[in-house]
Amino acid sequence: MSIRYTCRCCGMKIAEFDESQVSEAQLGFDSLTPDERALIISREQSGDTVVSITCDYCREALIQHPELSLVGNPLQ
């Protein structure tokens, strides 16, 4: 099983780790509140963990055009 980071805006895969190689503490998951965890971390039926964050490209676009944050998937 793996832990995969994907962009919440464009869906691009940012990184992927073998779950047996890293701990939640190493990834900083232990410092998240339960609400934060529910917001950004999900499990697929295959058992893989998906962490939804914003990639650098999308973050820059959102900084330059903040109105894009009002759209569900602004940079598909």
Q: Give the pLDDT confidence score for residue 67 in this predicted structure.
A: 81
Q: Give the pLDDT confidence score for residue 65 in this predicted structure.
A: 85
Q: Give the pLDDT confidence score for residue 10 in this predicted structure.
A: 87
User: What does the block give as tokens for 44?
Assistant: 């697929």
DSSP string for 31-66 = GS-HHHHHHHEEE-TTS-EEEEE--HHHHHHHHH-G
Region of residue 35 (left: phi > 0; alpha: psi -120 to 50; beta: else): alpha
Query: How does pLDDT run across 11-68, given as a tens digit for each residue?
Result: 999 999 999 999 989 999 999 999 999 999 999 999 999 999 999 998 998 899 888 7
Q: Give the pLDDT confidence score for residue 24 in this predicted structure.
A: 87
Torsion of CA 33, 34, 38, 40, to 10 degrees: 20
User: What does the block give as tokens for 1?
Assistant: 């099983």
